[in-house]
Structure 1
Amino acid sequence: MNIYFQKTHQRGFGTWPLKGEVLAQAIANALDAGYRAFDTAQWYGNEAETGAALAAGGVPREDLCITTKVAPDNFGEDRFLASVEQSLKDLRVDQVDSLLLHWPPANGDIAPSLLLLQTALDRGLTRNIGVSNYTVAMMREARRIVDAPLVTNQVEFHPLLNQDKLLTAANETGIPLSSYASVARGEVFKYPLLEQIGRGYGKSAAQVVLRWIIQKGVPLNTMSTKPENIRANFDIMDFTLSSVDMARIDAMTRTNFRVVTKESVPIAPEWD
């Protein structure tokens, strides 16, 4: 696993769709729970509020791992770097720890935005670069285009969706996956098996899901506004799911429930 995702960085706090005081309080609670990795994006419209909340949290900058994502409408050569510089200003940092491309471009030509991403890295605007919502073919092509390591392909990943093809591609290309929609926006809680498995470990269904993701080798992002859930989502490193329970959860991926579809996000690629 890439060193970028070791230690507490394996468990990131996502900020979508939070704003205002709700966001500020959630970040304060996340810092208190132990989170040090935080994920935002230009499209979320909350970079400035995220930056203010992290600055108010009092945690040294070197202990934080801050990720943001460039919106596709800023992929043009005339807008890309300026948009990243604005993100840094809003986040109150000299550089982010990871800068991702939020989506593949609608025309499918990934080279121009990847090369601009590399330029942002070369100029010191970010410590690491990565992508989000890339298909297997895009992961392979990106590996050929970009010289620097791509530290992640952030994708929808949870027990109701089979992402074995992407996991195989991650091993093949050296581009690790990381997850969003880690509990499928609550859909996983409709399945009693997860709660049943959790009882054997003294853990909740949500903690079982998140532990499953970690044991699949995938760092994760979660979001909650409830302090008890924020803490519980972080407290998943003190137990290990057995191989039998992992297999039982693996079988659930045949459900193939997807949160993000082309109907909900028209620019989404044709998923693997």
Structure 2
Amino acid sequence: MTDDASGSTVGEAGVPAVGLGTMGLETTKEARAVTTALEMGYRHVDTAQIYDNEAVVGDAAAAADVPREDVFLATKVWADKLGYDDVLSSTRASLERLRTDYVDLLYVHRPIDAYDPETTLAAFDRLREEGLIRRVGVSNFTVEELATARDHLDAPIAAHQTEFHPLFNRPELLADAREHGEAVVAYSPMAGGLVSEVEEVVAVAEKHDTTPHAVSLAWARAKGCAVVPKASSESHLRANLAAATTLELDDEDVARIDGIDRERELFPE
């Protein structure tokens, strides 16, 4: 199957609602999951400079029988490359590794270290003006940091990528994104597998005769997020795609998961 099976988009900038996260896909063999995913119907591939896999991800994306213009390719500039000149040079290096003339979305990976709203974001605007990136995104920002970024950007923020799963719900970020027409892209949407140990998620899974992992993805989609779960095997790729596009939770299911009263952040600053 080579048509787009990944479903809808999120936010005014049209971020595909289902993508493949590639953190940990480090070898050519592991990165074949990107080729498989694209030919299965995924159209959103998410990587980052710090993953040290842009070259193998780029090769795998190029190997897929899918035109480049049909693939939504995202990467992220790491914290030590957020000075103005470093943003420009490191992004051009990312494009070379990814074997592409542009990326559809470029994120500030974390607002730490070399990040300075004025100079960092000016470089992102320049890259967009030059056509090397199509959209500007940010990752791991607070609501306050998002507001500051908007003040300094000429481009709209297309997406905010953040850790989001049943043990780390972010209602204030969701509300802020809705207000500004931005996509929230959920990374680690299955909490690194911990959802299989969460009673409320397990109960909803039993109700729908599915897995806690599938419920976690469907819950994030029901909350309006795009999701970028990592998977390497064809079976997991298919299961994630099906969960995110066809599994529908009712209001009671969503409320039950929303009511989880404990928190576990997997990737604190």
Task: Give the structure-1-normalised TM-score.
Answer: 0.90
Q: Is the Cα contact below 8 Å between 1:42 and 1:87 reproduced in 2? A: yes
Is 1:185 the counterpart of 2:197? The answer is no
Match of 1:115 among 107, 122, 126: 122
Q: Which stretches of structure 1, 4 residues or longer, exceed 4 Å deviation after superposition?
A: none
What are the within-5 Å matches in structure 2 for residues 98-109 of structure 1?
98-106=105-113, 109=116
For 1:196 and 1:190, the matched residues in 2 are separated by: 11
Unaligned runs of 5+ in 2: 1-9
Say whether 1:71 aligns with 2:78.
Answer: yes
Q: Which residue of 2 aligns with 1:241?
A: 249
- 1:22–1:225: 8 Å Cα contact kept in structure 2? no
Does the 8 Å contact 1:143/1:173 carry over to 2?
A: no
Cα RMSD (Å): 1.6
Q: What is the CA distance between 1:165 and its match in structure 2?
A: 1.6
| Contact map agreement 1:207 1:233 (CA 8 A) in 2 | yes
Report the counterpart of residue 148 of structure 2 in structure 1: 141
The answer to whether the 8 A contact 1:33-1:234 is kept is no
Task: Identify which of 87, 98, 103 aligns with 1:91.
Answer: 98
Deviation at 1:3, TM superposition (A): 4.4
Number of corresponding residues = 259
Q: Residue by residue, what CA displacement relative to the aligned partner does 1:150-171 show, whole Å, maximum 9, x if unpaired?
A: 1111000001113112112223
Residues 1:58 and 2:65 aligned together: yes
Name the SS of the counterpart of 2:186 in structure 1: strand
1:23 aligns with 2:51: no
Tell me the percent identity.
Answer: 36
Report the CA distance shift for 1:65/1:107 in structure 2 as closer, same or farther (over 3 A): closer
1:22: how far off? 3.5
| Pair 24,68 (structure 1): closer, same or farther in 2 beyond 3 Å | same
Rounded Cα–Cα distance in structure 1 between residues aligned with 2:11 and 2:150: 15
> Cα 1:3–1:63, aligned 2, differ >3 Å: closer, same or farther?
farther
Ranges in structure 1 where 5+ consecutive residues have no aligned partner: 262-267
Asked whether the 8 Å contact 1:154–1:179 carries over to 2, the reply is yes
Distance in 2 separating the partners of 1:3 and 1:78: 29
Which of 78, 88, 91 is the aligned partner of 1:81?
Answer: 88
Question: How many Å apart are 1:32 and its aligned residue?
Answer: 3.4
Name the SS of the counterpart of 2:19 in structure 1.
strand
Structure 1 stretch displaced more, 175-184 or 125-134:
175-184
Name whichever of 31-40 and 105-114 sits farther off: 105-114
| CA distance in 2 between partners of 1:109 and 1:67 (Å) | 21
Question: In structure 2, what residue type is equivalent to 1:83?
Answer: S
